[in-house]
Amino acid sequence: MTTPDPAGGADLHLELPAEGPRRTALTRALRDAVRSGRLAGGTRLPPYRTLAADLGLARNAVADAYAELVAEGWFTARQGSGTRVAERAATTAVRAGAPGPSPSAPRHDLLQGKPDPASFPRSAWAASARRALTAAPTEAFGPGDPQGRPELRQALADYLSRARGVRTTPANIVICSGFANGLHLLASVRPRDWAVEAYGLPFHHGILETSGVRAHPIPVDEDGAGTTELPSRARTLLLTPAHQFPTGGRLLPARRAAAVEWARSTGGVIVEDDYDGEFRYDRKPVGAVQGLAPEHVVYAGSLSKSLSPAIRLGWLVLPDHLVDRVLAAKGLRESWASALDQLALADFITCDAYDRHVRRMRKRYRQRRDQLLSALSAQAPHLRVTGISAGLHAVLELPPNHEAPALAAARAAGLALDGLSTYHHPAAPPPSREGLVIGYAALPDAAFGRALDALSEVIRRVTA
């Protein structure tokens, strides 16, 4: 099997208006084509030069339009296989257009990043919300403090210290509406050069790019990011130490120490994205790097994996010298996160409902992981599965030139999942690894069983 012909891609008919800026018109036409479903998720786009020739545009105009749509999440840029329509973009577009299942929506959703929506603790949350509404001081219903409710900052300071080894006080915590919001804020207050892991979420890469950050990718292996040699210009280092995203490694203690030493000696700042640190299956959860050097690490967490992305709450634990600057960037008047959700979460944590939920989900997700591992080992015992000691997803490693065909077969079988290359930073050297990133947390039991059957069949065919 070979890498797909780079000159290929979807046959694409676009009509641009005769007047006005051409690049803007192209960006809009491509976006509309995705939203309307004309361009399905996973579709490969024509190379720049082909589309530029078709439309009589400069090649750069097409490249810029693609880059903008990657940053917005409509497209994904895959190393070595061009630009594609994001699976999620198509799913969302279809859902927004016509509620309910649609014939073109994937039948089996194994996309990473989603906790189980059916396990949301509705009664416990409603009880916390009611208690919080009853107990809240009157001023809680007035204009919010951009830093966040003091009740929540206190509850988080206690919880993060106890559960994640974070050393902080409520004064150093800023509530935001999720990790992406926090990353936006940090990008606006830190110098331009950031070291980032060679693998990460394209959405985060896009946020940094649109914020004017110059990203310097650093290599990633099974022991996490290579922090022992960092780009000399970088003043900020974005890491996923507990469970490298998405490749799954845990940052080696020596590499943690090297990162902290780098921050101390250069005055740099580590941004620790602890996106799924609560879900560790093989031992006690790995403590946060922040605990080693609170004055040099921003610890960032959110509810998106541990409870639900429907509650838009995240938190930054900041070194003293960054608190005022992040608050200024946040602005005095836009306290994005719902004060009611903040108060409910403070109660939810304080009454131990959060701990109970995490324990329950850890057990459930471990069972799901085990189910995935048996299915994969039955079908392809020669393939390695990595990143399995934590989180809500695993990586099935594939031999060279197998990822693109596997993704094509998966799409044909109605499976929604991503390849490793989706997460590879476009500025990093070409990746030597291929694989499938498999989310195992979100589906109901029966649907998960069917998805595993479909996945096994795809793997059997592709590796036959």
Instruction: Pick the binder of a second copy from 40, 133, 163, 413 (CB under 8 A).
Output: 133
Size of the site for a second copy (CB under 8 A): 66
Q: Residue 390 gets which letter from DSSP?
A: B
Give the burial class of 174: count Cβ atoms within 10 A of its Cβ; 0-12 exposed, 13-18 middle, 19 or more buried. Answer: buried
Q: Does 203 bind a second copy (CB under 8 A)?
A: yes
CB nearer to a second copy: give 87 or 272: 87
Nearest Cα neighbor of 206 from 111, 72, 100 is 72
CB nearer to a second copy: give 310 or 412: 310
Query: How far apart are the C-alpha atoms of 331 and 312, rounded to whole Å?
Result: 18
Instruction: Pick the binder of a second copy from 5, 139, 229, 320 (CB under 8 A).
Output: 139
Query: How far apart are the C-alpha atoms of 414 and 91, rounded to whole Å?
Result: 12
Site string for a second copy, 12-51 (x = CB under 8 A): ----------------x--xx--x----------------
Between strands 297-302 and 269-273, the pairing is parallel
Neighbours of 363 (CB within 10 A): 11
- Dihedral of alpha carbons 132, 306, 206, 69, sign: negative
Q: Does 333 bind a second copy (CB under 8 A)?
A: yes
> CB under 8 A: which stretch of 135-143, 360-368, 389-397, 429-437 binds a second copy?
135-143
Instruction: Pick the binder of a second copy from 140, 322, 375, 376 (CB under 8 A).
Output: 140
Nearest Cα neighbor of 172 from 187, 180, 189, 160 is 160
CB nearer to a second copy: give 28 or 433: 28
Query: How far apart are the C-alpha atoms of 422 and 201, rounded to whole Å?
Result: 8
Q: Does 147 bind a second copy (CB under 8 A)?
A: yes
The residue to which tokens 């059957």 are assigned: 453
Strand boundaries in 45-124, DSSP class E:
75-78, 82-85, 108-109
> CB under 8 A: which stretch of 10-18, 114-122, 260-268, 432-440 binds a second copy?
114-122
Instruction: Pick the binder of a second copy from 10, 12, 14, 129 (CB under 8 A).
Output: 129
Rounded to 5 degrees, φ, ψ at 397 are: -75, 145
Q: Does 75 bind a second copy (CB under 8 A)?
A: no
Q: Does 447 bind a second copy (CB under 8 A)?
A: no
> CB under 8 A: which stretch of 87-95, 214-222, 250-258, 367-375 binds a second copy?
87-95
Q: Does 233 bind a second copy (CB under 8 A)?
A: no
Give the burial class of 281: count Cβ atoms within 10 A of its Cβ; 0-12 exposed, 13-18 middle, 19 or more buried. Answer: middle
Q: Does 453 bind a second copy (CB under 8 A)?
A: no
**Binding region for a second copy (CB under 8 A):** 28, 31-32, 35, 72-74, 86, 88-89, 92, 95-96, 99, 113-114, 117-118, 120, 122-123, 125-126, 129-130, 133-134, 136, 138-147, 150, 177-178, 180-181, 203, 308-313, 324-325, 327-328, 331-341, 442
